[in-house]
Amino acid sequence: MSARTINFTLNGQAVSTAIEPHRNLVELLQRFDLFGARESCGQGLCGCCTVLVEGRAVSGCLYFAIWVDGKAVTTVEHLDADGVLSNVQEAFIACGAFQCGFCTPGFVLMCQQLLKQHPDPSDEDIRHYLSGNLCRCAAYPEIVAAVKQAAKTAATRAGH
């Protein structure tokens, strides 16, 4: 299939590239040397390929690359663009909320979205938002703790 030129904002930068219409978003990001979004199950079930498009979490393995034409894409690599880890990233480290780390970028991005919409999430909110992210090492209890800690630090940061 012939490539089509797309223009989009990638982690705050305007970019342009030509890509075949059957390529998915994970493959597109790899061309920009971004490997934080990983394809694992290939069915949109594990969340390892989570990317934010217009601020909304999508499964990069099921999302056609050409769909980002004209849109803003944020990957996990952008969260510490100002040299400071996000409060979610800090909380994941503090709570030991990962083991092998393969699924972690997806969890972190989904948690960013969760906390944006529920600054003080209940256990039920957390389970609901993270039900589409799987962790084979099963760091789930630590991930729940990290979300709560991130919510707390976000509230503290906002209070200053």
Partner 1 sequence: MQGTQAVHKDDASIEDVFASAHRVFEHTFKTQQCLHLPFESHVAIAEPGDARLTIYTSNQTPSFVRIEIARLFGWPENRVRVKVPYLGGGYGSKVYVKLEALVAALAMLARRPVKIALTMEEQFYMITKHPTTFRIKSGVDKDGRLVARSCEVYWNGGAYADIGPRVTQKSGFTAAGPYDIENVSIDSYALYTNRTPAGALRGFGVPQLVWGYESHTDLIARELGVDPVAFRRKNILRNGRPQASGTVLQDAAIAEVLEALVARICWDAPFDRGAGTLRRGRGIAIGLKASISPTTSVAVVNVSADGSVYLYKSTVDMGQGADTAFAQIVGEILDVKAEDVRVVAPDTDITPYDMGTLGSRSLFHMGNAVRLAAEDARAKLRALAAEAGLPAGTNYPPAEIFKKRYGMQAGNVIGTASFIPKYQPPDAQSGMSENVTPFWMVGGAAAEVEVDTETGQIRILRLINAADCGKPINPAVARTQLSGASIMQLGFTLSEAMQLDGGQVTNASLADYKIPGIGDIPPMENELVEAEQHSGPFGAKGLGESGTFGVSPAIANAIHDAVGVRIAELPITAEAVLRALRAKDGRLLEDD
Site map for partner 1, 52-91, x if CB under 8 A?
----------------------------------------
Which residue, 6 or 114, is less far from partner 1 as judged by CB? 114
- With CB under 8 A as the contact rule, which of the stretches 18-26, 52-60, 114-122, 137-145 interacts with partner 1? 137-145
- With CB under 8 A as the contact rule, which of the stretches 6-14, 65-73, 74-82, 138-146 interacts with partner 1? 138-146
| DSSP helix/strand/coil, 8 | strand
User: Which residue is it, tokens 């803003």?
Assistant: 72
Q: Which of 9, 17, 30, 40 binds partner 1 (CB under 8 A)?
A: 40
With a CB cutoff of 8 Å and minimum separation 6, the contacts of 149 are 91, 94, 95
Are 48 and 40 in contact by the 8 Å Cβ rule? The answer is yes
Site map for partner 1, 96-135, x if CB under 8 A?
x-xxxxxx----------------------xx--xx-xxx
Q: Please, what is the minimum distance in Å from the beta carbon of residue 16 to partner 1?
A: 28
Q: Which of 143, 146, 150, 154 binds partner 1 (CB under 8 A)?
A: 143
User: Which residue is it, tokens 């992210």?
Assistant: 133
Q: How far is CA 99 from the centre of its chain?
A: 17
Q: What residues does 6 pair with on adjacent strands?
A: 17
CA angle at 145 for the pair 94 and 54, rounded to the nearest 5°: 90
